[in-house]
Amino acid sequence: MPDFSYGGTQDLAAGAQRLVSKRPDLTMLSRTADSLYWVSRYVERAEYLARILDATTRLTNLPSAYGGAGTEWHSAVLTAGCEEAFAKAYGEANERNVCDFLSFSPDNPSSIRNCLALARSNARAVRTALTSEMWDALNGAWLELQRFEKKRMDREEFARFLDWVKNVSLVFDGSAYRTMLRDDGYWFSRLGVYIERADNTARILDVKYHVLLPDTEQVGGSLDYFQWTTVLREVSALTAYHWVYREAVKPLLIADLLILNRRMPRSLAACYENISRFLDLLGDAYGRQGPAQRQARKTLASLSNTQIETIFEGGLHEFISDFITENNRLGGTIIDQYLQ
């Protein structure tokens, strides 16, 4: 398995002391850009965790005739990239422990609660750089979250909570898209979205392919079918899959959709098309290209010049492991080049 720890998680205390630009005229921009970048990453990550929990609940609710190996909740922790922290806090990966850890635990830096808290803290630090609609979406979400935390939730209520988290992300993302001035602040915000989204899509694919299906279960069997269908639901791609391929659910085609198909908004290729575009806009605006632009173009070219059959021949797991490493490296390069 690849290293599923998130790359570049921001330490707010340290972040407040850094962000001095190499160009004096861009000192304030660097501070603002950093917060906008991380606001978007944290909101995207909160939505992703809600999707993981929703999908895992669906998988565990499959009829017993489909007979999974009981690894679904463990796979949710792996996909979220916090296996070591979870093991220290809880040990056993069951529904109650995983839902609490990924949703509300203050001890999990990447819980939904902490993602929304960090997003709001970053937004508050650069309040004047946000539109009123963006701030209202985040601030209102934080206040509403306090009410959810105080509830004793059954499965039905928890499902409503997950839908609410996904809706918060949609509202925030939509308000940013519809109201932000198209300048460097917007470009940094979108970079945060797509770096995070590429990482999340890769994790979902790898854990399904490498962890979920029991060794005793037939590839292409009923359990395999429902698990892959759930993966498509996780990324809101089930309808898109049938529109594009007009075939029954097949792992090769699902991987093609989520890795190489640029028409699919959450695919790796679509994410890197946008990452490369926004980095080029920044390079043009600042009059200088750098390592971030070169890394993004290299990854985009690699995705553009490969076929899904070639990826499977070399090993899907190995391909995704390398991609996650490179995506984390690009995130670090963006921070080094622009945000400190």
Domain identity same for 316 and 195: yes
H or E, element range at 331? helix 316-338
Report the mean per-residue pLDDT for the chain. Answer: 85
Q: Which of 136, 152, 179 is the last residue of a domain?
A: 179
Domain identity same for 269 and 189: yes
Distance separating alpha carbons of residues 184 and 63, to the nearest angstrom = 50
The CA-atom distances, in angstroms, between 209 and each of 110, 136, 255, 318 are: 23, 39, 10, 11
pLDDT band for position 294 (50/70/90)?
A: very high
| 7 within some domain | no
12-35, pLDDT tens digit by residue? 333 333 333 334 344 337 889 999
Contact status, residue 153 vs residue 94, Cβ threshold 8 Å: no
| 9 within some domain | no
| 277 within some domain | yes
Domain identity same for 340 and 207: yes
Q: Which of 147, 163, 179 is the last residue of a domain?
A: 179
| 284 within some domain | yes
| pTM of the entire predicted model | 0.86
Domain identity same for 189 and 327: yes
Per the rule left: phi > 0, alpha: psi between -120 and 50, beta: everything else, 241 is alpha
Contact status, residue 36 vs residue 135, Cβ threshold 8 Å: no
Distance separating alpha carbons of residues 328 and 339, to the nearest angstrom = 15
Domain identity same for 209 and 317: yes
pLDDT value of residue 80: 86
Decide which of 89 and 304 is more confident.
304
Q: Which of 154, 179, 204 is the last residue of a domain?
A: 179
How many domains are there within the chain? 2
* Overall residue count recorded for the chain in this entry: 340
Structural domain of 56: 41-179
89 phi and psi, to 5 degrees?
Answer: -85, -35
117-158, pLDDT tens digit by residue? 999 999 999 999 999 999 999 999 999 999 888 778 888 999
The label of the residue with tokens 């070399």 reads 314
Domain identity same for 208 and 281: yes
